[in-house]
Structure 1
Amino acid sequence: MIRFLLSSLLILIAASASAQDRRPSHCIAIADAAPGLKYLHRASYREPLPDYTVRLHYIAHASFLIQTQGGLNAVTDFTGFIGNTDLIPDVVTMNHAHDTHWTANPDPAIAHALKGWGAFGQGADHHLDLGEMLVRNVSTDIRSQFGGEETRGNSIFIFEVAGLCIGHLGHLHHEPNDAQYAAIGRLDVVMAPVDGGYTVPQATMIRILKRLKSSVVIPMHWFSDLGLRTFVDGMSESFDVIRVGGPSIEVSLATLPKRPTIFLLRPAWLRGRE
């Protein structure tokens, strides 16, 4: 009996150590929306957040502010300017297909400036655990100058926070392959470039988003209301559409819509007194 108990204890210890050595992702599991609860809503980026809630503020072009209830601030496709504000993000992510998606000189006060590329063709590998937020990436290819290609030159950044998986597709130039889809996992929220030319054709982006089956889709990287409307028309059979009328929404597992929904945000720079 004693030998059996000792053996069981050793198995439990080994299993615990193995679990701690893993780099787990919660994005593979599909999050079920709780029935009968409110949809997402707008709020100022200065206001405190409820528990288990994340705020998304569309700053400009492909830049979003992602805020946690505990006070972490992340900015995607960071260009060095987010508005007339004294806010210094804890983490910024960048891609370098164009200079509207990165800066060579991020503020040294930013603790974590994550490039979505590495040495030419080698890509990047990020797995940043900030306690309340985990930031990781999946590399994809981009078109380089003069018709070439840079393997692993773009990163899809994924933010795991408050039980949610939030993905930013960056400057995506091709549909992910099966291995990349598997690495991305289940995204509850996705920010998607819908310009239809500089990144991928709109038909390709629609196919990508239908496969991802995210509960919340936020279009970004659009250059005209006409182009945005064309994208929405192509998605309307499978997705509901909500015109938020402002730059921000709050989202939690409890408020995910039952049917996949496009949330149309109007970008706005951050301002210090908001």
Structure 2
Amino acid sequence: MIIQWIAHACFKITLESGKTLVFDPFGDIGYQMPEISADMVFVSHSHYDHNAVECLTGDFRIFDAEGSFELDGIKIKGIPSYHDDAFGAKRGKNIIFKVTAEGLTITHLGDLGHMPDEALYNQLMGTDILMIPVGGNYTIDAQQAFEICKSIEPNIILPMHYKTPGLHVEIARLYHFDEAIKGYFDRSALGKNQFEYTAADKKKRTRVIVMDNSMSAEI
């Protein structure tokens, strides 16, 4: 599969079959969502910077609720959580999506705003690629993200939802997450907005991959 970071919390995954999965498409956050064709779209919650499905093209199916689903051999689990640390009283609910395809399990935490309890951790185990917010303010912060990564031990950690040039959302820069993980996880800067990954590429040691977002050339 090819994993592409569009920007903010939005990723596009292209499977070997050609099917495309898009997570949390955004509205106007300082730059515009590019035109992308999708087959499946995952929306963690109804805020404008995560639910702009109108920006996408194609005959896609939207997943925006908890539950277990299977479509075209792709297993999908929507896991309930909260956008804050007050059981949703401040910002509402958040759906974590755990998607298994081509022998890999990708978990997108959306705008998770609290530390998982034991039951939630149990559902997150077995993740190969973890897309995790690290910018704080509206989500877990860098230190909390680090603690979650240590507990889940995915193969790949993809930080997201942090301050990048041109972004109008007031969240922290990646620096704070880099400081939190220093000396614990291997970290590499990819220098581009996408990479290819297969089940055969899995390694024993967890590593953090920092991607350029797809808006970098436009800002």
TM-score strictly above 0.5? yes
Alpha-carbon deviation of 1:108? 7.9
1:186 aligns with 2:130: no
**Structure 1 stretches of 4+ moved >4 Å:** 104-109
Calculate the TM-score normalised by the size of structure 2.
Answer: 0.83
Match of 1:135 in 2: 76
Q: CA deviation at 1:188?
A: 0.6
Partner of 1:70: 17
Deviation readout 1:119-152 (Å, 9 max, x if unpaired): xxxxx323331224222211101249xx93466x
Q: Within 2, Cα distance between the matches of 1:111 and 1:180?
A: 28
Structure 1 residue 184: deviation in Å?
2.2
Segments of 5+ residues of structure 2 without an aligned counterpart are: 166-171
Contact 1:141–1:149 (8 Å) recurs in 2 = no
Please, what TM-score do these two structures have when normalized by structure 1?
Answer: 0.68
CA distance in 2, matches of 1:237, 1:131: 41
Amino acid at match of 2:185: F
Distance (whole Å) between structure 2 residues aligned to residue 248 and residue 195 of structure 1: 21
* Paired amino acid for 1:64: F
- Whole-Å separation in 2 of the counterparts to 1:196 and 1:239: 20
CA apart distance, 1:164: 0.8
For structure 1, the 5+ residue unaligned runs are 1-53, 116-123
Query: 1:266 maps to which residue?
Result: 212
Q: For the aligned residues, what is the CA RMSD?
A: 2.6
Give 1:249's match in structure 2, choosing from 195, 199, 203: 195
The match for 1:238 is 184
The one-character-per-residue Cα deviations of 1:179-237 (angstroms, maximum 9, x if unpaired) are 11112221011011110222012211111111010110011111048821221121122
1:88 and 1:126 map into 2 onto residues whose CA distance is 25
Q: Following the alignment from structure 2 to structure 1, what is the Cα–Cα distance between the partners of residues 51 and 210?
A: 24
Structure 1 position 198 matched with structure 2 position 138: yes
State the structure with more CA Rg.
1
2:61 is equivalent to residue 112 of structure 1: yes
Q: Shift in Å at residue 257 of structure 1?
A: 3.1
Corresponding position of 1:125: 66
Partners of 1:107 and 1:197 in 2: how far apart? Answer: 28
1:220 has 2:167 as partner: no
CA distance in 2, matches of 1:163, 1:79: 28
Per chain length, whose mean CA-contact separation is higher, i.e. which structure has more relative contact order (CA < 8 Å, sep 6+)? 1
Q: Distance in 2 between matches of 1:204 and 1:260?
A: 17
Number of residue-to-residue matches in the alignment: 205
Residue correspondence of structure 1 range 41-52 to structure 2 within 5 A: none
In the alignment, the residues of structure 1 paired with residue 164 and residue 26 of structure 2 have an alpha-carbon distance, to the nearest angstrom, of 21
Deviations 1:85-126 (A, max 9, x none): 4x42001111336310113747684331112xxxxxxxx323
Letter of the 2:13 partner, please give it.
I
Secondary structure in 2 matching 1:227: coil
Name the SS for the 2:49 alignment partner: helix
